[in-house]
Amino acid sequence: MTTIIHNKLIRGIVAVTLIASAMPLSATVDNILPRPKLVEALSGTLRTGSELLLEDATANPVLARTLAGILATGTDGDTLKVKVIKDVVEGARDYPLASYDAEAYRLEVSPGGITITAPEAVGVTRAAQTLAQLAEGTEKELPAVTITDWPAFKLRGFLHDTGRSFISLEELMHEIDMLSRFKINTFHWHLTENQAWRFGVDAYPQLTDSAVMTRDAGSYYTPEECRRLERYAAERGVTVIPEIDMPGHSKAFTRAMGFDMQSPEGCEALKVILREACDAFPLAPYIHIGGDEIGYDDRFLVGMIDYVHSLGRKAAIWNRYNRPARLVDPSVLKADLLTNWATSGTLVKGVPNVDLRYNYINHFDVFADPVGIYKTTIFYEPEGNSDIAGTITGVWNDTRVPTETDIVCQNNFYASVLASAERAWAGGGIRYIEEGGTTLPVEGPELDEFADWERRFLHHKAGILKNEPIPYVRQTDVEWLVTEQIPNGGDPHASLPPEEYIDADTIPLRFEVGGNTYNALPARGAGIYLRHIWHPIVKGFYDNPRKGVTAYAWTDIWSPEEQDAGALVETYTYSRSGDEVAPRAGCWDRRGSRVWLNGEEIPAPEWEQPDARIPQDDPVCGLTNENLTAREPVRIHLRKGWNRVFLKLPYADNGGTLRDKWQFTFVVTDIAGRNALSGIIYSPNRHLSAHTR
């Protein structure tokens, strides 16, 4: 008897279905991220040994390192037999995407050894990455199991804009190493920008002269460093797509060269640069040449696409492109890959499309937006095809933050990228984010699926990702009641009926104000958009948020003991992109939001630059401690038993900030803010019995 678990597409959801149940599923198998398609749990275990008999004609380096790590735990002298077979994987699905080989694999771990079957070498890499997760946390044995797996979408990637905000080569390589373990297979490297040109060009050293850089002066990547990173990525099954943006985002080029990209001299210089880019990235199948956000004649981009083709490479461009924004006509712009951004970047038939439209995590909240990323389909489809290559999660750090660690932490990089990575590997989702929004369901299959991803992600946060700056903590158990929008007469400070119950034992579920009834509605999650940044395209909690209103949110927290704790709290997430204005001293935000715990108001943080204007592209001024990801958690004290958290959330306009978000975040953590506080229960109006398990 065996236990077989299938991932099946049911109404667009990836559902886990138990077929037989003679053997329990190993904890290490149950923690694999992304979740594999087919798992067959077998009897027995494989005891690791100190000797290895490996048959691998592909000489896969990831497999060799993984096996070395497993062997390091062996002490009994057994011989571990590992065999790699290059063959088709029955039942696996694939579709064409130029330069992306099939990644299907079958991994068989039995008491007698390990067998990997894959049609291509990259499939062996994916099997080894799964094997490494199986071995994580084990000592002398691996669970006997057969895993058959393949991706729903062939391209699963991340993007860094290092033109605006430099990230060291070592950090980029570290991220590639970490993310590849979860089967991320693409790094889109945005190398050039208005602030700085980061790609070292031997023919034009003036491009990387510190004098022409307005941010992180003197920081760039040499051609040899580019080759080094590309080799490192390729060894881990990651394709690098370098981007030399043209003709827009090119003020650094103009400052350095003394002429515009679209001039005759500029076009000739770009051809030299593209030749050097091909030399610096010898393995890159695609060279991305940008093409967005500046007006130009299409003949410019047509000529550059043709030149990339003459160099034996494929050309990638943005869709939408040009200014005013237009959609790519493939009969005119014969690009080989389209990376879609913004709502108008709609699917173009006959060309592989990459979906980045709502994955710009530089605008995103720690908790609500990973929910949206995870719940959504990719370009409205549960699986990829010849027109839909996959998805990339982008970090456009336009606004300066203090360090490269802040880029990773403040953008909630790992949680967001790995939520997208699982959706792209597993496929599914019920609705595209334009319909599904970012709100965590109160109950149902979407909640269950996200909670399972969250459990596995937090397992790896505590394991292989333990040294990464990850602000995300468990949120699926956080329950709220949130009122409907109550008119405040244009006064955000007006005290309305819900405030009478800030520390009452119970709060009514409806309120009479001005002859109208306003109900309290259930909500779930640590972060909730009442109005999403991209409303009305992306929905928040309210379908139709109105101005001149106040919302109230509350929950009760049961603590088994009196204890000190931390809390992650904010009422506005500052995008790492776009001009902003910091909160005034003593205020949580610029709208008048307030937060109470047990009837005592929680004071706002001491802002490092209160009421300051924070410009997007300034070389020095930027974000400091405005976001919860950049400051210590709030110190709170929980009494034994019930504790009331109560928030007042007025809404009129953006309060002077560029982005019109209406939201709140609250979750109780350990003192350090690293993990959600264990042993507590969130239950609005103190229905403890409903949470006993």
What are the pLDDT digits (tens) for 540-593? 999 999 999 999 999 999 999 999 999 999 999 999 999 999 999 999 999 999
Question: What is the average pLDDT across 177-190?
Answer: 98
* Residue partners of 143: CB distance under 8 A and separation at least 6: 26, 28, 29, 41, 45, 46, 109, 134
677: which DSSP letter? P
Q: What are phi and psi of 515, to 5 degrees?
A: 85, 0
In percent, how much of the chain has pLDDT > 70? Answer: 95
Look-up: residue for tokens 């904890």? 27
pLDDT band at 80 (very low <50, low <70, confident <90, very high): confident
Does residue 337 contact residue 386 with C-beta atoms inside 8 Å?
Answer: no
Tokens at 77, concatenated:
């002298």
Residue 198 structure tokens: 């980061």
Q: Is 633 exposed, middle or buried (0-12, 13-18, 19+ CB in 10 A)?
A: buried
Provide the pLDDT confidence category of residue 13 given band limits of 50, 70 and 90. very low
- Of 341, 338, 335, 339, the residue nearest 308 (C-alpha): 335
Question: Which residues, listed in sequence order, are joined to residue 581 by a DSSP beta bridge?
Answer: 613
Q: Give the C-alpha separation, 122 to 144, whole Å.
A: 23
pLDDT value of position 9: 37
Q: What percent of the chain has pLDDT over 90?
A: 89
Partnered with residue 10 across adjacent β-strands are: 13
CA distance 649 to 530: 9
Quote the CA–CA distance of 537 and 392 in Å, as a whole number: 20
Task: Summarize the confidence of residues 300-312 as an average pLDDT.
Answer: 98
CA-to-CA distance for 247 and 630, rounded, in angstroms? 35
Q: What is the pLDDT of residue 5?
A: 35
Contacts of 641 by beta carbon, 8 Å cutoff, 6+ apart: 558, 559
Task: Say which CATH superfamily domain 3-149 falls into.
Answer: Chitobiase/beta-hexosaminidase domain 2-like (3.30.379.10)
Q: How far apart are CA 537 and CA 527, in angstroms?
A: 19
Give the integer Cα–Cα distance in Å for 31 and 28: 5
Strand partners, 14: 9
pLDDT of 137: 79
Pick from 169, 191, 337, 184: which is nearest to 250 by CA? 191
Instruction: At 140, list the tokens.
Output: 């002398």
Following DSSP, what letter does each residue of 211-271 receive, concatenated? GG-SSSTT--B-HHHHHHHHHHHHHTT-EEEEEEEESSS-HHHHHHHSS-TTSHHHHHHHH
Q: DSSP class of residue 22?
A: S
Contact by Cβ (8 Å): 84, 55: yes
pLDDT score, position 74: 46
Per-residue model confidence as pLDDT tens digits over 605-646: 999 999 999 999 999 999 999 999 999 999 999 999 999 999
The mean pLDDT value for 287-303 works out to 96
Residue 409 has phi, psi (to 5 degrees) of -75, -50
Q: What is the pLDDT of residue 604?
A: 98
Average pLDDT along the chain: 93
Report yes or no: 661 and 533 within 8 Å, Cβ to Cβ.
yes
Q: Evaluate if residue 492 carries a pLDDT over 70.
A: yes
Lowest-confidence pick of 130-144, 148-162, 344-358: 130-144
Type of residue numbered 693: R
- Residues 6 or more apart whose CB falls under 8 angstroms from that of 604 comprise 583, 586, 587, 588
Residue 275 burial (CB count, 10 A): 15
pLDDT tens track for 375-416: 999 999 999 999 999 999 999 999 999 999 999 999 999 999
Task: Name the residue type at position 39.
Answer: V
Would the pLDDT of 16 be above 50? no
Top CATH class of 155-460 equals: alpha beta
